[in-house]
Amino acid sequence: MLKRISAALALAGAAVMMSSCASSATPAGAGSRADCTTTTSLGVVAGTARAGLCAFRGIRYAEAPVGSLRFRPPRPVGRWRGTLQATDDKAVCPQDRDTMSEDYPDARTLFTDEDCLRLNVWTPGTDHRRRPVIVFVHGGAARFGTANEPRYDGAKLATRGDAVVVSINYRLGVLGWSELGGLDPSYKGSGNNGLRDQMTALRWVRDHIADFGGDPANVTAVGESAGAFSLSAMLATDHPERLFQRVILESGSGALVHSAAYERKVASALPVKSVAELRRMSTKQILGMQNKIIDQDEPGILGATYFAPYIDGTLVRDSVIKRVAQGNARAVDLLLGTNRDEMNFFGQLGPEAMTGIAQQYETVFFPQELAARRKRMVAAYRRGRSATAAALAMFSDQGMRVPATRLAQAQSRWRPTYLYEFGWRPTEEYGAVHTIELPFVFGSFRFTGILGGDKAFQADRARLTTLSDQMIDAWTSFTRTGDPNARRTVQRPTWPAYRAPQRATMMWNVDATVANDPRGRERALWDGYPFAAFDLPA
């Protein structure tokens, strides 16, 4: 059963030329929607027109990381000749199909194409109107997922928010997140290559998004789960404001960025003696090796935390919360939050799975540093809960909710910061699980990996559509101005900035409300624990 859970666990130069289809005699955006062609400093790109938007799919932002470039930092793409037909919506970085939690663009069971460093753009027009830009970094345990999942379709965000939406692929698993410097010093830092891919894509956006109608000086990076871990790690790099002006973190923060010690443990599990040996392996062989390592050494929910950015001291300088508290991201606006029952996601295979996840939390994940207060904490969480539900609530708080409050508090010293909790529960048994906010943020209403989601949505479609509209308005308002309250086309409460001691939190549900310090007594039980990085006892 735990193996099944593991398998299911699872974000050059400046543009210089005007759109080839716009003219001074044409209203802004009208001509560009006709043929969806634009000219960048890299070459001409042609997309497709759809529902009043231009969609560009599968634009390569970095060279294929194959051959001598495998396990190397990404190399930005160069110029091309002719017109690039940006119509490929099937790019998926190498992975085995995750049959439960991912919403793949086709029916393949195995994805092996390493030439996957591509991005998608949705825009109301290639007309140089300098719209706000949203760049989405997908989740999937840094092991699964793709920017081409239908649930991540950017059309509604682009239309409702008059924004340019970008989604990006990045290397996954061993290919993107294995530190090989111990095998060959010239590969030092390879454990953050997936992060470097994302940063390269963000630089591509900075340099070229103006030719797609976006404003390179107004970029918001949005990440979910592993995508949020990655973006939070960027907050601990030098000058994150050069990558984006704003960040939205959904269900992920710096607490799950790996420590250097944990990354060494991951590296030591590779059953090879040289990088050359790894480079000779086929993609399929690497995926098989990866699955074997995780199933044998890190069963159950540990598979969801096996790959991640890590604190290497060079790119990711130190603990995210520490760096943010020191003002490293003082020029970046921050909105973040979690779902009410995050860890129940990994128990959706049934009562046995729920019990198994709770037991693994109690035996593996609970911090040894808090052993002296464990009995008191368990007693507090048991009020009104079963033993299993209490363990899962503690796990959700430790892994997601409390670190988010810490990061919000750290950044609130420098910038207005906004915290949320998503609480809609399609079933009482599982609640508001990990990933449940995504169908609402994108307005796609695709409930992959959320048991009972489709049925519950159909039963309350009108109110849940309003909830989605409220969230999209808040997300795109924050994207445009740094304030989620600036645009409210659908009535919703004013969302105050997060500051201690009030700790105002937007509670997203069919009747959205604002609560001050929700479940504050449970949050306070974690006081003194640093949430510096992800590590486990030896």
Known catalytic residues are 225, 342, 434
Please name the amino acid found at residue 61: Y
Radius of gyration of the chain (CA): 22
Interstrand relation of 504-508 and 83-85 (parallel, antiparallel or unpaired): unpaired
Query: How far is Cα 470 from Cα 336, in angstroms, rounded to an integer?
Result: 16
Using alpha carbons, select from 18, 118, 26 the residue that is nearest to residue 65. 118
Write the Ramachandran bin of 330: left for phi over 0, alpha for psi from -120 to 50, otherwise beta.
alpha
Backbone angles phi, psi at 56, to 5 degrees: -115, 115
Diameter over CA atoms, the chain: 73
Token couple for 281: 């392996």
Query: How far is Cα 98 from Cα 9, in angstroms, rounded to an integer?
Result: 8
Sign for the CA dihedral angle at 101, 107, 47, 58 comes to: positive
Interstrand relation of 95-96 and 118-123 (parallel, antiparallel or unpaired): unpaired
Specify burial of residue 436 (Cβ count, 10 A radius: 0-12, 13-18, 19+).
Answer: buried
The contacts of residue 404 (CB under 8 Å, 6+ apart) are: 249, 253, 336, 337, 338, 419
Q: What is the number of residues in the chain?
A: 538
Q: Decide if 503 contacts 516 (C-beta within 8 A).
A: yes
Backbone angles phi, psi at 33, to 5 degrees: -75, -20
Query: How far is Cα 94 from Cα 287, in angstroms, rounded to an integer?
Result: 8
CA 388 to chain centre: 28
